[in-house]
Chains A and B, each alone.
Chain A
Amino acid sequence: MAPEPNEDDGRWQEAGDHATSETIPTDAIIRGTDVVKEYETGGQIVRALKGVDFGIAPADFVAVVGPSGSGKSTLLNLLGLLDVATSGDVRLRGRDVSTFTDRERTRKRKETIGFVFQSFYLIPTLTALENVEMPRMLDRTPTKTRQRARQLLERVGLGDRLDHYPDELSGGQKQRVAIARSLINDPDIVLADEPTGNLDRDTGDRILELFDELRRDENVAVVTVTHDDYVAEAADRVVTLIDGRIRETESRRANFEEGPDP
C-alpha cells in the first residue's frame, strides 16, 4: 500500500536512506521492468523502447541522453504517466500503472509528476503567478494556491515578476516560471525535457542550481532528457539510450549530498 501524501506539502513521506549505489534504486517512486513501447505510424509498427529497466528514487537526479529517435521522449512519457507501455511492468509506488483508468492516471499524474516542457508552454493570457497556479486552479483553494505560487516564484528568483505576462519575460525567466509551475502540486518527480536547451550557459547554471536546491529542500527527484553534456555532468546518474535500449548507466554520484558543493 502506498503511503498517503502529506496534507501540508503533498510530498510522499519516505523513511530510510535512499542513497544507493545500485543502478536501479530499491525505493523507487516509479519503476519499470523490461518495458517495451511500440507505436503504429503509417501502418508500420515502430518499436521505440525494446525492453528497458528503470527506477526513480526520491531526490534522484537522472539524465537521459542519447541520439534523437533513441526513445528518450517515449521513456519520459512513460515516466510521466502520459502513455502506457505496450508490454513490461511499470509500477508507481508498487501499483501497476497499466491497471489505471485514464481518470486515475490523470489524478496520479497530478499528485506525483511535475513537467517542465522544452518550449515551456506557458499560457500567454495568464501572468507568471497565474501560470504557476494553473495546475491547481480548479482546486477551489485559491488563497492557499496563490500563497504557494508566490513562494515558488520567489524561490526561483522571480518574486518581482509575478504580474508579468510570458511575452514580457526572457527565456530563462520563462523556464523558471515553468519550473515553479511544475512544483505547485508538490510532485515527487519533476520531468524536464531539455531544461537548458533554449538558455545560455549562465541561466542554465542557475537552473541546475535550482534543481539541486529543490532536491535537497523538497526531496524532489529530477529526470531530464538532454543533449547537453554539461547537464549530464551535473546528474547523479546518466542513462544512455541508443535505439530503444539502455546501453550504459553511469553513476556519477551516489547521492547529490556527497557531491561537490554548488
Chain B
Amino acid sequence: MNPLRWLVGRFPTLALARRNLSRATLRSALAITAVVIGVVAIGAIGTGGEAFKQDQLEAYEGFGGTATVEPDVQFEDGNLTNTELSDGDIDRIRQAAGSATVLPVHEPAGSFVQTQSGTLLFRARVKGLENPGEFYEARNGTMPDNWRRTIVIGARIADQNDLEPGDRLRVNVTDEFDRSFEIAAVLKPQGFSAPLGADRTVFVPASEFESGGYEQAIVRVDTTTGSVDAATQAIEREFNAREQLVRVEQVQEQREQFTEFFGTVNQFLIGVGAISLLVAAVTIANTMLMAAIERESEIGVLRAYGYPKRAVVSLLVAESTILGVVGAAIGAPLALGIGMAINQLLLGDPFAFTAAGLRYVGIGVGFGVVTALVAGLYPAWKAANKRPVEALD
C-alpha cells in the first residue's frame, strides 16, 4: 500500500475534509486569506513592534551613562523662580560629577525656524550648545570645531525638509537674536529617546545667547571608568542637601518608563490584529455554514449510511481547521518576512528577531488555527443535528 493511501486509511476524515474543501476552491481560498491577514497582522505587528523596541533600547544604550539636570522650577506669588542654571551652577555640577562631561543647554521658550523660502519649521526646536561634537556624530557634513557662525540640525528635520549642509536657515529666538545660519552638519539619527530630542532640534552655538542661564545640563559619564549613579548622587548632595533645587534624572529610568509605555501600545496593536482574526472567524463560520447547507443532502447520506453525529461534526470541523492551518502556514512566513524587512530597516540585521517577537508569530499561528476550529463548531453541530430524513427530502 502506498504511503498516501495509508494516510487516507488512517485519517479518512482529514482526507474527506480536504477533498470537500477543494470543491469550493475560491470560497476556501477567501476564507484562508482571511486567516492569513489575521496571522500576518498579529505576527508582523508583534515582531515589528519588538524590532522597534529593540531599536529604541539600542538608542538608550548610547545614553547609558547619561543623566539630565534641570532646575526645579518653583511657582511663587505669581512668578516663576529658579528657572535657570547659572554658570556657577554648571561649575558646581562639573565639580560634583568629577570626570563626567557636562553639557549646558540653552532651551529658549520662544523661538522659530524658517527656511530661506520662508517656510516655517513648526516642529523644530532650538537649543544652544557649546560643543555638539562632544555628544554627537555627523551623518552629513562635518561637526564644526570652533563653533561660531553655523548650526547643526537633527536627522528628522533634515529629512522632512530636504535640508543638507550648505543650506541656510533663519533662526529667531525671542529677546536674543534673529539671523540666518549656514547648516554645517546633519546629525546621525538618535531615536526619540535621546535626551535632547536631537532628531527634531536645530542646534545653535551657545555663544549666540547673551543671557547666562541654562535650562538644562546633560551629564555624561564614561561607564567604563565611572558610574552615572555616583555622579547623580553627588549632584543631588551638592544641590539638594537643604532644599530641592535641581531634578536629576537618569536616562536609564526613562528607558524603563519607555519600555512600560511601549508594552501598552504594543498590546493595543496586537488587539487590533486579533480583531482581524475575529473577522476571519466570521468568514470561516460563514463559509462552513454555506458548505453545510449546500451539502445538506450529502450529509444526510452519510448519516443514513451510519455515520454518527460525531463523525459529521469531526468532518466539518476538520474542514474549518484545515482552512486555519493552511492560513497560518501561509501567514507565518509572510509575518516573518515582514518582520525581517522591519528588522533590516530598524536594526540593520534581518535576523535580529527577539524571542518575544517570534512568540507573537507563534501566537498568531495558534490563534489562527484555534479561531478556525472554533468557527467551524457551530456549523458542524448544526449540520450533524439535521435529521437525515429532512436532509434527504
Please list the residues of chain A having a beta carbon within 8 angstroms of any beta carbon in chain B.
77, 80, 82-83, 102-103, 106-107, 109-111, 113, 115, 117, 121, 123-126, 134-135, 137-138, 140, 142-143, 181, 185
Q: Check B1 for interface membership: any CB of A closer than 8 A.
A: yes
A-B contact pairs, 18 of them (CB 8 A): A77-B389, A82-B392, A106-B306, A106-B308, A106-B309, A107-B308, A115-B305, A121-B301, A123-B301, A124-B23, A126-B19, A135-B306, A135-B307, A138-B13, A138-B307, A142-B8, A142-B12, A181-B305
Contact between chains at A121 and B298 (CB < 8 Å): yes
B19 nearest in chain A by CB position:
A125
By a CB distance below 8 angstroms, the chain B residues around A102 are 309
By a CB distance below 8 angstroms, the chain A residues around B297 are 121
B15 nearest in chain A by CB position:
A137
Contact between chains at B389 and A83 (CB < 8 Å): yes
By a CB distance below 8 angstroms, the chain A residues around B392 are 82, 117, 121
Contact between chains at A106 and B5 (CB < 8 Å): no
Contact between chains at A142 and B5 (CB < 8 Å): yes
Contact between chains at B311 and A142 (CB < 8 Å): no
**Cβ 8 A contact of B307, one of A106, A115, A142:** A106
Q: Check B10 for interface membership: any CB of A closer than 8 A.
A: yes
Q: Which 10 A-B pairs have the closest CB atoms?
A: A110-B306, A142-B9, A135-B305, A125-B19, A137-B12, A121-B301, A82-B389, A109-B306, A115-B304, A83-B389
Q: Check B16 for interface membership: any CB of A closer than 8 A.
A: yes
**Cβ 8 A contact of B305, one of A103, A110, A126:** A110
Q: Give the size range of B's interface with the partner.
A: 20 to 34
**Cβ 8 A contact of B23, one of A83, A107, A115, A125:** A125
Please list the residues of chain B having a beta carbon within 8 angstroms of any beta carbon in chain A.
1, 5-6, 8-10, 12-13, 16, 19-20, 22-23, 297-298, 300-309, 311, 387-389, 392
Most-contacted residue by chain A among B20, B303, B388 (CB, 10 A): B388
> In the complex where A137-B12, A142-B9 touch, is A185 in contact with B301 (Cβ < 8 A)?
no
Give bound CA distance, A125 to B25, whole Å.
12
Known: A82-B392, A106-B303, A138-B12. 5 other contacts (CB 8 A): A83-B387, A109-B305, A125-B20, A126-B19, A142-B8
A131 nearest in chain B by CB position:
B301
Contact between chains at A185 and B9 (CB < 8 Å): no
Contact between chains at B298 and A185 (CB < 8 Å): no
By a CB distance below 8 angstroms, the chain B residues around A117 are 301, 392
B305 nearest in chain A by CB position:
A135
Give bound CA distance, A137 to B314, whole Å.
13
Contact between chains at A137 and B301 (CB < 8 Å): no
B314 smallest CB distance to A (angstroms): 9
Contact between chains at A138 and B19 (CB < 8 Å): no
**Cβ 8 A contact of B306, one of A107, A125, A140, A143:** A107
By a CB distance below 8 angstroms, the chain B residues around A138 are 12-13, 307, 311
By a CB distance below 8 angstroms, the chain B residues around A123 are 298, 301
By a CB distance below 8 angstroms, the chain B residues around A143 are 1, 9
A119 nearest in chain B by CB position:
B297
B389 smallest CB distance to A (angstroms): 5
B263 smallest CB distance to A (angstroms): 48
Give bound CA distance, A204 to B128, whole Å.
102
A162 smallest CB distance to B (angstroms): 14
A192 smallest CB distance to B (angstroms): 13
Give bound CA distance, A143 to B8, whole Å.
11
Contact between chains at A82 and B305 (CB < 8 Å): no
By a CB distance below 8 angstroms, the chain A residues around B9 are 140, 142-143
Contact between chains at B12 and A82 (CB < 8 Å): no
By a CB distance below 8 angstroms, the chain B residues around A142 are 1, 5-6, 8-10, 12
Give bound CA distance, A181 to B311, whole Å.
19
By a CB distance below 8 angstroms, the chain A residues around B22 are 125
By a CB distance below 8 angstroms, the chain A residues around B5 are 142
B54 smallest CB distance to A (angstroms): 49
By a CB distance below 8 angstroms, the chain B residues around A181 are 305
Give bound CA distance, A77 to B12, whole Å.
28
> In the complex where A137-B12, A137-B16, A142-B9 touch, is A80 in contact with B304 (Cβ < 8 A)?
yes
Give bound CA distance, A28 to B54, whole Å.
80
By a CB distance below 8 angstroms, the chain B residues around A124 are 23
By a CB distance below 8 angstroms, the chain A residues around B307 are 106, 135, 138
By a CB distance below 8 angstroms, the chain B residues around A140 are 9-10, 12
By a CB distance below 8 angstroms, the chain B residues around A125 are 19-20, 22-23
B11 nearest in chain A by CB position:
A140
Contact between chains at B305 and A185 (CB < 8 Å): yes
Most-contacted residue by chain A among B5, B306, B387 (CB, 10 A): B306
Give bound CA distance, A181 to B301, whole Å.
11
A193 nearest in chain B by CB position:
B392
**Cβ 8 A contact of A82, one of B13, B20, B23, B388:** B388
By a CB distance below 8 angstroms, the chain B residues around A185 are 305-306
B6 nearest in chain A by CB position:
A142
Give bound CA distance, A137 to B9, whole Å.
7
Give bound CA distance, A115 to B303, whole Å.
11
Contact between chains at A134 and B305 (CB < 8 Å): yes
By a CB distance below 8 angstroms, the chain A residues around B298 are 121, 123
A141 smallest CB distance to B (angstroms): 8
B302 nearest in chain A by CB position:
A134
B330 smallest CB distance to A (angstroms): 23
By a CB distance below 8 angstroms, the chain B residues around A83 are 387, 389
By a CB distance below 8 angstroms, the chain A residues around B8 are 142
By a CB distance below 8 angstroms, the chain B residues around A109 are 304-306
Give bound CA distance, A80 to B301, whole Å.
12
By a CB distance below 8 angstroms, the chain A residues around B311 are 138
Give bound CA distance, A113 to B10, whole Å.
26
